[in-house]
Structure 1
């Protein structure tokens, strides 16, 4: 078994020539060959569900190889997967090469039911580079991904393939891959690709974009340092963000944009939570850039909430109101515009460069040199979690004391504080006592939901003023919003008292 380490990057076809003539490659003679690959699975796609890719490859009409790969592509385009490969003959699968016993038995169990699902046909142009003691293969792949005709009458379909793979052939430092990628990306629009060729083939065979992806459960473990925990959490946020990219760009479903925005919110919350153990320069460089990106996606989410959470119940209560019909039409038009704008943001070169630069920095992030910060970074993850959660709880309790006389701005601060506490609890869940955590997290969730709905009322008022700038024809909606706000504030008060009296799970 070998471990494949590669950085996968999407390349616009219009920029192929710029890559081929880039100074980095100018004095290197490339190899060029054609690769035809057929991917196999069971009719129920058992291999896909297990994250396994099985292919037969023919190289230049002569050599046949069987390959088994395990694991998905990672965040920022970086993939580190187990791989087994050996010569074979057409249609022959020999799983004795798989050294993972469970996986080998799984493949042998399904051997008789394997069938071709899709194929790729591309020309690979490969350059070999020596960089900082590491050997890297830069491969430019151009061709097509093709589905296969099936028994229910569906014809085969295809989509173009144009991507760059940077594979670490020899060496251990991931940094050299990112350094090379960023050097190329300064002149060429290279975008980190979250989907492997196999995953893209499955999506094409499905005939539909993957469902919106929600936050991934925290993978931190007790033995991690605080810095290592931050890296794990940040990478999971990037995975969620990138898994929603295609839907946000191409699909008419606001949930993709919402989940992409949620990923960035969680990432920004992680920055804040772990800031005492991160180098200030790292935080100062990347935190504002993620905030700017989040703002570019936020408008679409605001309009979606207005249409589904504020306007929809009004329409149900007053189905004959003509003003609501006008609001719906104008709101949907603004929503479509905001959705298109959000998708466009994710196609910009600046976003691609941010993903690359941040992913590279994550794999290099180290504890800061400041002595006080070093003391915190030296704590066990559980002790670090307790300190940070306690600080967040104390901040909230200070704000709760003002609840009876809170204005909109202070209530917004309380909402943000609860949101940060909620994310922190989710991040640290694996190292907290589970018995007390469930009830506490439920209380936080209820309050966060109430505060979110209150914020939605404020946002709805602002959006209505945009649609009716002179205030005409909005008395019904503004009255509805005022009534909803009063009910929510009353419910919030009792939930806050219950929360303050609760037992903190980290004590």
Structure 2
């Protein structure tokens, strides 16, 4: 058995020429001519191997046939490490060399049932890079496609496989390449993409994963696990936003960035100051790069769409405002997509992943009790929100926004630490925080839309009538929601907490 450690990077087809011209690539040893690889993946009709997270494939490489067995990879930030067994293939499967007993027994039991499921066909260029005498890395550029039935999906990837050195050397090399070439880490293997194509599983925006922290972890170990979850949400929604028009990809990308910023703030006592300062700033700037696309989507879907001028006003009253908002939104989307394709976006994801891998416990943080740490941090978040909750009637839109940010940070903290206090009381409390945040979100959306529309009037006076109608249409709901949310928040921020000691 060997262990394959590689860093997988998505590579736009029009960026391959720039990659080949990179000084590190031109100086690298070219290992033969490009080869066409034809891989066939096998499984049972019920996909028993896929469910067991085992991949079985044959590969035709020139006149040579190989059989490969791979087990599930632990993939984060594009970096994966997995056991694999490779040997010559002679017209039938032979699993005797698989030295993991449970894997071999499962394969032998299913050998009579396995059949072709999908194929990957791609041209591979291979180069050997030796950044230092202690480091050897194979660089593979793959271009081709995945085929499953009538379905077809393109392949354009760069794989960096570690021969000698450490995983950090892969990140260092990728970071240097990404200075000139737009590269994006991806955790989806060709096999995973093939199964998705075979099953007809559509792409969908990636939402935040449920927390899996446990009391035996140190605060730093818990941070690392939660940060990798956030990193995957950031990665997958970035890749999705580049090929899909669904605005939810950009929304979930922004959610990932907000959650990561809140996570760093929450775990600040367990993190190096340099890490906190660097990534708080980078994540904030990355969110700002996406512009106001989300604000325009909300204006169209949540503020404009529900409003109905009839019967007192003509149906077409809001049409000029809607058309203007769509035009501005489309321009903002185009700018956001351009930012995502820029090389520095991939660099940021690579850098964040590398820095998380680099974090290590010192004696103090390793000995810290995670549950105690969580209580202290949740108390601090609640106290901060309580300070921002002044007298209900005096809260202006800006203060309501600040209160919303505080409650959002409290909500994220509760979600991060929920497995440590998984009680009915905490579930109810978290539900109350989410509802209050939803109500505050509506108030903020109306206030933001109002500002946007009034700004447009400076340049487009004909929008005055629909703008003032829309603001007036939402006025009553705004007032009712504001009164209700003040009562909701007062209940949440006073009295006992469900994460106190003894619970």
Instruction: Give the TM-score normalised by structure 1.
Output: 0.88
Q: Which residue is equivalent to 2:487?
A: 494
- Kept after mapping to 2: 8 A contact 1:47/1:53: yes
Relative to structure 1, the CA distance from residue 139 to residue 192 in structure 2 (aligned partners, 3 Å threshold; closer, same or farther) is same
- Secondary structure of 1:314 counterpart: coil
Query: 1-side partners of 2:298 and 2:364: how far apart?
Result: 43
* Alignment partner, residue 144 of structure 1: 144
Query: Cα deviation per residue 1:365-388 (whole Å; 9 max; x = unaligned)?
Result: 2468xxxxx866752111111111
| TM superposition shift of 1:502 | 4.8
Task: Name the residue aligned to 1:69.
Answer: 71
Residues 476 and 17 of structure 1, relative CA distance in 2, 3 Å threshold: closer
Looking at structure 1, the residues matched to 310 and 85 of structure 2 have their Cα atoms a distance apart, in angstroms, of: 61
Cα drift, residue 349 of structure 1: 0.4
Deviation at 1:250, TM superposition (A): 1.9
| 8 A Cα contact 1:296 1:342, kept in partner | yes
Q: Report the number of matched residues.
A: 493
Q: How does 1:303-382 map to 2 (within 5 A)?
A: 303-315=296-308, 320-366=314-360, 378-382=367-371
Say yes or no: does 1:241 pair with 2:243: no
- The 3 A distance-change label for structure 1 pair 106 and 458 is farther
User: CA 1:177–1:213 in structure 2 vs 1: closer, same or farther (change >3 Å)?
Assistant: same
Looking at structure 1, the residues matched to 402 and 385 of structure 2 have their Cα atoms a distance apart, in angstroms, of: 9
How do 1:93-172 residues align onto structure 2 when only pairs under 5 Å count?
A: 94=95, 97=98, 99=100, 101=102, 105=106, 108-109=109-110, 112=113, 114-127=115-128, 129=130, 131=132, 133-141=134-142, 143-148=143-148, 150=149, 154=150, 157=152, 159=154, 161-171=155-165
> Is residue 11 from structure 1 mapped to residue 17 from structure 2 by the alignment?
no
SS of 2:245's equivalent in the other structure is coil
What whole-Å deviation, never above 9, does each CA across 1:462-503 have from its counterpart, x for those lacking one?
232244444611232111222122011111122123213453
Quote the residue 2:389 is aligned against: 400
Aligned with 2:184 (options 187, 191, 195): 191
Inter-partner Cα distance in structure 2 for 1:365 and 1:292: 23
1:345, 1:235 → 2: CA distance? Answer: 23
Residue equivalent to 1:81: 82
Q: Distance in 2 between matches of 1:351 and 1:162?
A: 18
Q: How does 1:53-64 map to 2 (within 5 A)?
A: 53-64=55-66
Q: Give the RMSD, CA atoms, in angstroms.
A: 2.9
Verify the 8 A CA contact 2:126 2:138 in the aligned structure 1. no
Change (3 A) 1:330 1:22: closer
Q: Distance in 1 between matches of 2:260 and 2:309?
A: 37
Change (3 A) 1:102 1:11: closer
The alpha-carbon distance between structure 1 residues 4 and 395, as it changes in their structure 2 partners (threshold 3 A), is: same
Tell me: CA distance 1:206–1:323, structure 2 relative to 1, closer, same or farther (3 Å).
farther
**Superposed displacement of residue 409, structure 1:** 1.5
SS of the residue aligned with 1:218? coil
1:442 aligns with 2:443: no
Q: Is the 8 A contact 2:443 2:481 kept in 1?
A: yes
Describe the superposition over 1:135-184 as per-residue Cα deviations: whole angstroms up to 9, x where unpaired.
Answer: 4322233x311314x4xxx4x6452x33221122344x321111122223
| Aligned counterpart, 1:40 | 42
Partner of 2:173: 180
Once the two structures are TM-superposed, the CA of residue 255 in structure 1 deviates from its matched residue by: 1.0
> Which runs of structure 2 are paired with 1:204-283 in the superposition (5 Å)?
204-205=197-198, 209-283=202-276
CA distance in 1, matches of 2:108, 2:417: 36
- How far 1:450 sits from its partner (Å)? 1.1
Cα deviation for residue 303 of structure 1 reads: 1.4
- Cα deviation 1:199-256 (Å, max 9, x = unaligned): 3334555677511111011132222222222221111111011122233122121111
- Indicate conservation of the 8 Å contact 2:39/2:60, yes or no: yes
Structure 1 residue 110: deviation in Å? 8.2
Distance 2:223 2:160 in 1: 26
> What SS does the corresponding residue of 1:124 show, helix, strand or coil?
strand
- For 1:263 and 1:136, locate their aligned partners in 2 and report how far apart those are by CA, in whole Å: 31
The CA distance in 1 between the partners of 2:289 and 2:53, in whole Å, is: 33
SS at match of 1:253: coil
Q: Which ranges of structure 2 fall in alignment gaps of 5 or more residues?
A: none
